[in-house]
Amino acid sequence: MELQGLDSERDGARRLELEGRVQRGVARQSPRLPPNGALGVGQSRHRTLDVTEYRAAGNGHPRPHLRGEPTTFWGKLRRPTDDTSLLEWHPLADHCADVAAVVEALLRLPVWRERLSRLAGKRLTDVGLARLCVLAALHDIGKLNIGFQAKGRPELGTIAGHVIEALGALFRSRGPFSCMDELAVWGDGTTALFVSALCHHGRPYHADAMADTTWQATWWTPRGNLNPRVGAEDLLGRCRSWFPQAFEADDSALPDAPAFSHAFAGLVMLADWMGSDTRFFQFSEAQDDDRMKFARPKAREAVVAMALDFPLASRTDSESRTI
Protein backbone atom coordinates (compact mmCIF):
# COMPACT_ATOMS: atom_id res chain seq x y z
CA MET A 1 0.00 0.00 0.00
CA GLU A 2 1.38 3.40 -0.96
CA LEU A 3 1.48 6.46 1.22
CA GLN A 4 -0.79 8.72 -0.78
CA GLY A 5 0.27 12.36 -0.79
CA LEU A 6 3.59 11.87 0.97
CA ASP A 7 6.87 12.78 -0.68
CA SER A 8 8.53 9.82 -2.37
CA GLU A 9 12.19 8.91 -2.59
CA ARG A 10 13.98 6.04 -4.35
CA ASP A 11 11.49 3.34 -3.44
CA GLY A 12 8.43 5.65 -3.60
CA ALA A 13 7.89 5.86 0.17
CA ARG A 14 9.77 7.87 2.73
CA ARG A 15 10.38 6.47 6.16
CA LEU A 16 8.94 8.62 8.87
CA GLU A 17 8.96 8.20 12.61
CA LEU A 18 6.13 8.15 15.09
CA GLU A 19 7.16 6.16 18.12
CA GLY A 20 8.52 3.59 15.73
CA ARG A 21 8.57 3.20 11.93
CA VAL A 22 6.18 3.80 9.07
CA GLN A 23 6.00 0.58 7.10
CA ARG A 24 3.67 -0.10 4.18
CA GLY A 25 1.72 3.06 4.94
CA VAL A 26 1.11 2.25 8.62
CA ALA A 27 2.79 4.02 11.52
CA ARG A 28 3.36 1.49 14.29
CA GLN A 29 3.96 2.46 17.86
CA SER A 30 6.88 0.37 19.07
CA PRO A 31 7.08 0.83 22.85
CA ARG A 32 4.46 -0.81 25.05
CA LEU A 33 3.19 0.61 28.28
CA PRO A 34 4.40 -1.14 31.43
CA PRO A 35 1.81 -3.43 33.07
CA ASN A 36 1.59 -1.13 36.08
CA GLY A 37 2.27 2.55 35.49
CA ALA A 38 2.26 5.32 38.06
CA LEU A 39 -1.52 5.39 37.95
CA GLY A 40 -2.01 1.67 37.49
CA VAL A 41 -2.90 1.78 33.80
CA GLY A 42 -2.67 -1.66 32.22
CA GLN A 43 -0.44 -2.73 29.37
CA SER A 44 -1.53 -1.80 25.86
CA ARG A 45 -1.54 -4.15 22.92
CA HIS A 46 0.15 -3.17 19.68
CA ARG A 47 -1.75 -0.38 17.95
CA THR A 48 -1.43 1.05 14.46
CA LEU A 49 -2.12 4.49 13.07
CA ASP A 50 -3.41 4.96 9.56
CA VAL A 51 -2.14 7.73 7.30
CA THR A 52 -5.01 10.05 8.21
CA GLU A 53 -4.19 9.77 11.91
CA TYR A 54 -0.51 10.17 11.19
CA ARG A 55 -1.04 13.41 9.29
CA ALA A 56 -3.40 14.61 12.00
CA ALA A 57 -0.47 14.26 14.38
CA GLY A 58 1.27 16.97 12.39
CA ASN A 59 3.47 14.94 10.06
CA GLY A 60 4.17 15.40 6.38
CA HIS A 61 3.15 19.06 6.20
CA PRO A 62 5.71 21.60 7.46
CA ARG A 63 4.16 24.72 8.98
CA PRO A 64 5.64 28.17 9.52
CA HIS A 65 6.65 29.09 13.06
CA LEU A 66 7.53 32.24 14.97
CA ARG A 67 11.09 33.00 13.91
CA GLY A 68 13.86 35.33 14.97
CA GLU A 69 14.41 36.87 18.39
CA PRO A 70 11.45 36.21 20.73
CA THR A 71 9.20 39.23 21.19
CA THR A 72 7.48 37.96 24.34
CA PHE A 73 8.04 35.23 26.94
CA TRP A 74 9.05 32.04 25.14
CA GLY A 75 8.61 28.49 26.40
CA LYS A 76 10.36 26.39 23.74
CA LEU A 77 13.20 27.11 21.32
CA ARG A 78 14.48 25.43 18.20
CA ARG A 79 17.96 26.74 17.49
CA PRO A 80 19.19 27.30 13.92
CA THR A 81 21.10 24.46 12.32
CA ASP A 82 23.12 26.68 9.99
CA ASP A 83 23.96 30.31 9.30
CA THR A 84 21.03 30.77 6.93
CA SER A 85 18.22 29.68 9.28
CA LEU A 86 16.60 31.61 12.11
CA LEU A 87 15.79 30.79 15.71
CA GLU A 88 12.27 29.35 16.05
CA TRP A 89 10.32 29.83 19.27
CA HIS A 90 7.07 28.83 20.91
CA PRO A 91 5.34 31.28 23.30
CA LEU A 92 5.36 30.23 26.95
CA ALA A 93 1.60 30.69 27.33
CA ASP A 94 1.01 28.41 24.34
CA HIS A 95 3.24 25.66 25.73
CA CYS A 96 1.38 25.91 29.04
CA ALA A 97 -1.89 25.49 27.12
CA ASP A 98 -0.51 22.39 25.39
CA VAL A 99 0.47 20.72 28.66
CA ALA A 100 -2.76 21.67 30.44
CA ALA A 101 -4.78 20.25 27.54
CA VAL A 102 -2.95 16.93 27.84
CA VAL A 103 -3.61 16.80 31.60
CA GLU A 104 -7.28 17.50 30.92
CA ALA A 105 -7.44 14.72 28.31
CA LEU A 106 -5.79 12.24 30.69
CA LEU A 107 -8.05 13.19 33.60
CA ARG A 108 -11.08 12.50 31.44
CA LEU A 109 -10.05 8.86 31.11
CA PRO A 110 -12.18 6.88 33.61
CA VAL A 111 -9.30 4.68 34.78
CA TRP A 112 -7.00 7.62 35.46
CA ARG A 113 -9.70 9.59 37.26
CA GLU A 114 -10.62 6.60 39.41
CA ARG A 115 -7.01 5.89 40.35
CA LEU A 116 -6.40 9.48 41.35
CA SER A 117 -9.65 9.52 43.33
CA ARG A 118 -8.51 6.49 45.29
CA LEU A 119 -5.17 8.14 46.07
CA ALA A 120 -7.03 11.28 47.12
CA GLY A 121 -9.32 9.31 49.40
CA LYS A 122 -12.37 10.93 47.85
CA ARG A 123 -14.13 11.35 44.54
CA LEU A 124 -12.57 14.10 42.43
CA THR A 125 -15.20 16.60 41.33
CA ASP A 126 -15.28 18.34 37.96
CA VAL A 127 -14.25 21.55 39.73
CA GLY A 128 -11.33 19.75 41.34
CA LEU A 129 -10.19 18.34 38.00
CA ALA A 130 -10.34 21.81 36.44
CA ARG A 131 -8.20 23.16 39.27
CA LEU A 132 -5.61 20.45 38.68
CA CYS A 133 -5.51 21.54 35.04
CA VAL A 134 -4.82 25.12 36.13
CA LEU A 135 -1.93 24.01 38.34
CA ALA A 136 -0.58 21.98 35.42
CA ALA A 137 -0.81 25.04 33.17
CA LEU A 138 1.36 26.89 35.70
CA HIS A 139 4.06 24.19 35.70
CA ASP A 140 6.53 26.34 33.71
CA ILE A 141 5.82 29.66 35.39
CA GLY A 142 9.48 29.76 36.42
CA LYS A 143 10.36 30.45 32.78
CA LEU A 144 9.09 33.98 33.32
CA ASN A 145 12.37 34.85 35.03
CA ILE A 146 14.72 37.06 33.03
CA GLY A 147 17.64 34.66 33.43
CA PHE A 148 15.75 31.89 31.68
CA GLN A 149 14.56 34.21 28.92
CA ALA A 150 18.20 35.19 28.37
CA LYS A 151 18.76 31.73 26.87
CA GLY A 152 16.88 33.00 23.82
CA ARG A 153 17.85 36.65 24.16
CA PRO A 154 21.52 36.97 25.20
CA GLU A 155 21.26 40.73 25.67
CA LEU A 156 19.17 40.09 28.80
CA GLY A 157 22.25 38.96 30.71
CA THR A 158 23.18 35.93 32.83
CA ILE A 159 21.13 32.81 32.21
CA ALA A 160 19.21 30.82 34.82
CA GLY A 161 16.99 27.75 35.09
CA HIS A 162 13.29 27.71 35.89
CA VAL A 163 12.48 25.17 38.64
CA ILE A 164 14.25 26.27 41.83
CA GLU A 165 13.92 29.82 40.56
CA ALA A 166 10.14 29.38 40.48
CA LEU A 167 10.09 27.87 43.97
CA GLY A 168 12.09 30.78 45.34
CA ALA A 169 9.64 33.25 43.83
CA LEU A 170 6.56 31.30 44.91
CA PHE A 171 7.52 31.43 48.58
CA ARG A 172 8.70 35.03 48.47
CA SER A 173 6.42 37.43 50.32
CA ARG A 174 4.97 39.95 47.86
CA GLY A 175 7.00 38.27 45.12
CA PRO A 176 6.27 38.15 41.39
CA PHE A 177 3.72 35.37 41.88
CA SER A 178 1.63 37.19 44.48
CA CYS A 179 -1.36 36.99 42.12
CA MET A 180 -1.38 33.24 42.81
CA ASP A 181 -2.37 33.86 46.44
CA GLU A 182 -6.02 33.64 45.44
CA LEU A 183 -5.55 29.93 44.71
CA ALA A 184 -5.15 29.30 48.45
CA VAL A 185 -8.95 29.06 48.77
CA TRP A 186 -8.70 25.74 46.92
CA GLY A 187 -7.59 24.07 50.15
CA ASP A 188 -4.53 23.12 52.19
CA GLY A 189 -3.33 20.72 49.50
CA THR A 190 -2.95 23.46 46.89
CA THR A 191 0.61 24.44 47.82
CA ALA A 192 1.93 20.87 47.73
CA LEU A 193 0.27 20.26 44.37
CA PHE A 194 1.61 23.54 42.98
CA VAL A 195 5.12 22.54 44.07
CA SER A 196 4.59 19.10 42.50
CA ALA A 197 3.75 20.78 39.20
CA LEU A 198 6.79 23.07 39.40
CA CYS A 199 9.05 20.05 40.08
CA HIS A 200 7.90 18.32 36.89
CA HIS A 201 11.50 17.51 35.89
CA GLY A 202 11.49 14.84 38.58
CA ARG A 203 13.72 16.19 41.34
CA PRO A 204 11.93 17.00 44.63
CA TYR A 205 12.81 20.11 46.62
CA HIS A 206 12.17 21.06 50.23
CA ALA A 207 9.81 23.99 50.01
CA ASP A 208 10.72 25.48 53.41
CA ALA A 209 14.24 26.33 52.22
CA MET A 210 13.29 27.79 48.88
CA ALA A 211 12.42 31.42 49.58
CA ASP A 212 15.79 32.59 50.88
CA THR A 213 18.29 30.27 49.20
CA THR A 214 17.06 30.49 45.61
CA TRP A 215 15.84 34.06 45.37
CA GLN A 216 17.63 36.57 43.16
CA ALA A 217 15.83 39.84 42.59
CA THR A 218 17.56 40.42 39.25
CA TRP A 219 15.81 37.39 37.76
CA TRP A 220 12.42 38.96 38.44
CA THR A 221 13.17 42.62 37.73
CA PRO A 222 11.56 43.87 34.47
CA ARG A 223 14.02 44.16 31.63
CA GLY A 224 13.53 45.07 28.00
CA ASN A 225 9.88 44.44 27.17
CA LEU A 226 9.55 41.63 29.74
CA ASN A 227 7.88 42.02 33.14
CA PRO A 228 7.67 38.69 35.03
CA ARG A 229 4.92 39.89 37.37
CA VAL A 230 2.75 40.96 34.44
CA GLY A 231 3.55 37.66 32.71
CA ALA A 232 2.29 35.72 35.75
CA GLU A 233 -0.90 37.76 35.87
CA ASP A 234 -1.45 37.20 32.15
CA LEU A 235 -0.97 33.43 32.44
CA LEU A 236 -3.39 33.22 35.37
CA GLY A 237 -5.90 35.24 33.33
CA ARG A 238 -5.57 32.76 30.47
CA CYS A 239 -6.22 29.93 32.92
CA ARG A 240 -9.48 31.63 33.86
CA SER A 241 -10.61 31.52 30.25
CA TRP A 242 -9.35 27.98 29.63
CA PHE A 243 -10.79 26.46 32.82
CA PRO A 244 -13.52 28.81 34.14
CA GLN A 245 -15.02 26.04 36.28
CA ALA A 246 -11.85 26.00 38.40
CA PHE A 247 -12.60 29.50 39.67
CA GLU A 248 -16.22 28.88 40.61
CA ALA A 249 -17.21 29.09 44.27
CA ASP A 250 -16.88 25.55 45.58
CA ASP A 251 -16.29 24.24 49.10
CA SER A 252 -14.52 21.04 48.05
CA ALA A 253 -10.78 21.27 48.72
CA LEU A 254 -8.02 19.80 46.61
CA PRO A 255 -6.57 16.58 48.07
CA ASP A 256 -3.89 16.99 50.72
CA ALA A 257 -2.21 13.58 50.60
CA PRO A 258 1.44 12.76 49.78
CA ALA A 259 0.49 9.81 47.56
CA PHE A 260 -1.80 12.03 45.52
CA SER A 261 0.89 14.72 45.18
CA HIS A 262 3.34 12.09 43.92
CA ALA A 263 0.84 10.86 41.34
CA PHE A 264 0.07 14.41 40.23
CA ALA A 265 3.79 15.12 39.80
CA GLY A 266 4.04 12.09 37.51
CA LEU A 267 0.94 13.16 35.61
CA VAL A 268 2.37 16.62 34.93
CA MET A 269 5.73 15.12 33.94
CA LEU A 270 4.06 12.85 31.39
CA ALA A 271 1.89 15.69 30.10
CA ASP A 272 4.95 17.92 29.71
CA TRP A 273 6.67 15.26 27.60
CA MET A 274 3.58 14.81 25.45
CA GLY A 275 2.87 18.54 25.22
CA SER A 276 6.45 19.11 24.02
CA ASP A 277 6.16 16.54 21.23
CA THR A 278 6.12 18.58 18.02
CA ARG A 279 4.60 15.71 16.07
CA PHE A 280 1.37 16.76 17.75
CA PHE A 281 2.04 20.22 19.20
CA GLN A 282 3.81 22.18 16.50
CA PHE A 283 5.21 25.57 17.42
CA SER A 284 2.64 28.35 17.15
CA GLU A 285 2.32 30.29 13.93
CA ALA A 286 1.11 33.48 15.62
CA GLN A 287 1.17 34.99 19.10
CA ASP A 288 -2.37 36.23 19.52
CA ASP A 289 -4.40 33.12 18.64
CA ASP A 290 -6.16 31.17 21.39
CA ARG A 291 -3.84 28.18 21.57
CA MET A 292 -6.29 26.10 23.59
CA LYS A 293 -8.58 25.74 20.57
CA PHE A 294 -5.69 23.96 18.86
CA ALA A 295 -4.33 22.16 21.92
CA ARG A 296 -7.46 20.33 23.08
CA PRO A 297 -8.05 18.23 19.93
CA LYS A 298 -4.31 17.64 19.59
CA ALA A 299 -4.14 16.39 23.17
CA ARG A 300 -6.85 13.87 22.44
CA GLU A 301 -5.02 12.71 19.31
CA ALA A 302 -1.80 12.28 21.29
CA VAL A 303 -3.53 10.26 24.02
CA VAL A 304 -5.03 7.89 21.44
CA ALA A 305 -1.87 7.64 19.33
CA MET A 306 0.24 6.75 22.37
CA ALA A 307 -2.26 4.05 23.38
CA LEU A 308 -3.05 5.68 26.71
CA ASP A 309 -6.75 5.26 25.97
CA PHE A 310 -7.87 1.84 24.83
CA PRO A 311 -10.92 -0.40 25.35
CA LEU A 312 -11.07 -2.94 28.14
CA ALA A 313 -11.05 -5.76 25.58
CA SER A 314 -7.58 -4.69 24.47
CA ARG A 315 -6.06 -4.85 27.96
CA THR A 316 -3.94 -7.81 28.98
CA ASP A 317 -4.93 -7.48 32.64
CA SER A 318 -8.69 -7.08 32.20
CA GLU A 319 -9.51 -10.12 34.34
CA SER A 320 -7.51 -8.94 37.34
CA ARG A 321 -8.75 -5.35 37.37
CA THR A 322 -12.13 -3.71 37.18
CA ILE A 323 -10.89 -0.12 36.94
> For residue 190, what is the domain's CATH number?
1.10.3210.30
Is position 40 within any domain? Answer: no
Helices (H) and strands (E) in the chain, counts: 11, 6
Percent of the chain with pLDDT over 70: 71
Query: Which pLDDT tens digit goes with each residue over 196-238?
Result: 999 887 776 665 555 556 678 899 999 989 999 999 999 999 9
> How far apart (Å, rounded) are the C-alpha atoms in residues 148 and 142?
8
> Side-chain half-sphere of 99: how many Cα atoms within 13 Å?
31
Question: How many distinct structural domains can be found in the chain?
Answer: 1
Reply yes or no on whether the pLDDT at 42 is more than 60.
no
Is position 20 within any domain? Answer: no
Contacts of 174 (CB under 8 A, 6+ apart): none
* Lowest-confidence segment of 13-17, 77-81, 154-158, 296-300 by average pLDDT: 13-17
Is position 240 within any domain? Answer: yes
Region 184-193 average pLDDT: 94
Is position 209 within any domain? Answer: yes
Q: Which pTM does this prediction carry?
A: 0.76
Quote the mean pLDDT of the chain: 78
Is position 318 within any domain? Answer: no
Is position 165 within any domain? Answer: yes
Query: Which pLDDT tens digit goes with each residue over 248-301?
Result: 988 889 999 999 999 999 999 999 999 999 999 999 987 767 899 999 999 999
Cα separation values, 27 from 4, 81, 142, 189, Å: 14, 27, 36, 42
**Nearest Cα to Cα of residue 221 among 304, 160, 273, 287:** 160
CB 284 within 8 A of CB 90: yes
Region 132-155 average pLDDT: 95
**Nearest Cα to Cα of residue 246 among 99, 96, 100:** 100
Is position 174 within any domain? Answer: yes
Is position 58 within any domain? Answer: no
313 vs 225, higher pLDDT: 225
Domain residues for the domain of 285 are 73-306
